[in-house]
């Protein structure tokens, strides 16, 4: 068993309420303006927790390209 109070570092909860949806006027959305575009901060957190540098990232749907752009910034392929 692992108890929450024994864990070291920051514990990220199951529900991520600290990352907001993109504002329609956000600079991040200005170039693409895709209706279901996700914030780079959200994609960054997902990639950080599930991959290492130089890992291959595949986004099957690749709608707005946010995953590809974020992966490239994070030194993923």
pLDDT tens readout for residues 42-73: 999 999 999 999 999 999 988 889 999 999 99
Alpha-carbon torsion (53, 19, 31, 64), positive or negative: positive
Residue 29, φ and ψ in degrees, nearest 5: -90, -20
Specify the pLDDT at position 40: 93
How far apart (Å, rounded) are the C-alpha atoms in residues 18 and 16? 6
Specify the pLDDT at position 24: 82
Specify the pLDDT at position 53: 94
Mean pLDDT of the region 16-33 = 84
Q: Assess whether pLDDT exceeds 90 at residue 27.
A: no
pTM (2 d.p.): 0.77
The most distant pair of C-alpha atoms in the chain lies apart, rounded to whole Å, by 47
Are the CB atoms for 45 and 18 separated by under 8 Å? no
């Amino acid at each position: 068993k692992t108890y929450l109070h024994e864990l070291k570092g920051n514990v990220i909860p199951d529900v991520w309420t600290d990352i907001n949806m993109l504002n329609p006027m956000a600079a991040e959305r200005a170039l693409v303006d895709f209706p279901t575009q996700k914030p780079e901060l959200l994609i960054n957190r997902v990639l950080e927790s599930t991959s290492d540098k130089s890992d291959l990232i595949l986004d099957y749907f690749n709608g707005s390209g946010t995953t590809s752009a974020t992966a490239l910034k994070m030194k993923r392929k």
